[in-house]
Amino acid sequence: MPRVGLFIPCYVDQLYPDVGLATVELLEQCGCDVDFPTAQTCCGQPMANTGCTEAAKPLARRFLEIFRDYEYVVAPSGSCVAMVRNHYHDLVHEHPDFEAVHTKTFELCEFLTDVLKVDGFPGSFPYRVGLHQSCHGLRELRSGKSSELNVPGFNKIGGLLESLDGLQLVSLQRPDECCGFGGTFAVSEEAVSCMMGLDRLHDHEQSGTQVLTAGDMSCLMHLQGLIARQKKPLAVMHVAQILAGRKPQLPA
């Protein structure tokens, strides 16, 4: 029974508790012994991405210490995992726990496919699903082939989703363009950020998406914010919620 330390990013903890619960349910379904260490808060990504390295370092150290004793660390967020896996080196490479922790930290879907070798989940989800390939999941963790590279195609999140009965992945004009969230970018470059988000939504609408999903709740928070303001007929769910059998709240 793999012993998993659950890492629930701060904003998921505070704003999207059901994404966390769905993650726990999925991991338990797959036979993991899941534990959520309550001392955790934030991995330090917002600070590091803004250049405030000194503010991020103590948070990175805390992260290593909290999670060092688990067999694996799993999070429902590609972006936060990319922070730990690819960018902790710049912050805390000299820490005694760095090496161990950063190599055993996984994004939920890659953990399911690569470590647990799960092929799919039972259940049905008879909807047209638009997968938003979050950039950090895609290009930092390689959860799928990015459209720029000339390498064989694969898609870890899409593969899991398609195992559900009736689920139909839509194909987009621009399969993996950024939604414009980008952390503090969403605020400091508000105009471009929102134009990017609206363009993504337009692509999904044109392609017939009913349920918009992603492995990163942060992209979805931005897109959902635009959907809610514009009252667009799109439901938004984290991929963990779909896999765990939640039903979408489709607009009437």
Partner 1 sequence: MTSATAHRDHPETAAEFVANDARAHWHDQSLWFVRARRDKASQTLPEWEELRERASKVKLHTMSRMADYLEQFERNAIALGAQVHWARTPAEHNEIVLGIIQKHNATRVVKSKSMLTEECHLNPFLERNGVVVTDTDLGEWIVQLRNEPPSHIVMPAIHIKKEEIGELFHDLLGTEKGATDPPYLVNAARQKLREQFLNAEIGLTGVNFAIAETGGFVVCTNEGNADLGVSLPKVHIACMGIEKIIPKAADLGYFLRLLGRSATGQPITTYSSHFHGPRPGGELHIILVDNGRSNILASPEFRRSLNCIRCGACMNTCPVYRRSGGHSYSTTVPGPIGSILAPTRDAQEHASLPFACSLCGSCTDVCPVKIDLHNQLLTWRRELALKFLVPFDKRLGMSLAAAVFARPWLYRVGGAIARRVFPWLPRMLVYNRWNPWGRQRELPEMPAQSFRALYARRKRNHKVPSDQKPASR
Site for partner 1 in 4-33 (CB under 8 A): 8, 10, 12-21, 24-25, 28-31
Looking at residues 199 to 238 of the shown chain, list those that interact with partner 1 (rule: CB under 8 A). Answer: 199, 221-222, 224-226, 228-229
Count of beta carbons in the 10 Å neighbourhood of residue 229:
10
CB 133 within 8 A of CB 144: yes
Provide, rounded to whole angstroms, the least separation between the CB of residue 92 and partner 1. 14
Position 165 contacts partner 1 (CB under 8 A): no
- The interface region with partner 1, picked from 55-63, 67-75, 93-101, 208-216 by CB under 8 A, is 55-63
Q: How many CA atoms lie within 13 A of 204 on its CB side?
A: 30
Interface residue with partner 1, options 69, 96, 190, 251 (CB under 8 A): 190
For position 187 contacting partner 1 by CB under 8 A, the verdict is yes
Contact predicate 109/187, CB 8 Å: no
> Whose Cβ is closer to partner 1: residue 18's or residue 97's?
18
Residue 108 and residue 157: Cα distance in Å, rounded?
A: 9
Q: Which is nearer to partner 1, 191 or 252 (CB)?
A: 191
Nearer to partner 1, 128 or 175 (CB): 175
Among 2, 115, 185, 207, interactor with partner 1 by CB under 8 A: 185
In the window 133-162, what residues touch partner 1 (CB under 8 A)? 135-136, 138-140, 146-151
Q: Which two tokens stand for residue 128?
A: 């047209």
Say how many Å lie between the first and final Cα of the chain, rounded: 43
Q: Which of these ranges, 93-101, 103-111, 132-140, 206-214, lies near partner 1 under the rule CB under 8 A?
A: 132-140
CA distance 86 to 45: 11
Q: Is 2 one of the binding residues for partner 1 (CB under 8 A)?
A: no
Angle between helices 190-207 and 217-230 (to 10 degrees): 80
Closest to partner 1 by CB, 128 or 145 = 145
Closest CA to 73 of 104, 103, 118, 44: 104
The smaller minimum CB distance to partner 1, of residues 128 and 246, is found at 246
Q: Can you tell me the distance from the alpha carbon of 57 to that of 18, in angstroms, rounded to the nearest whole number? A: 29
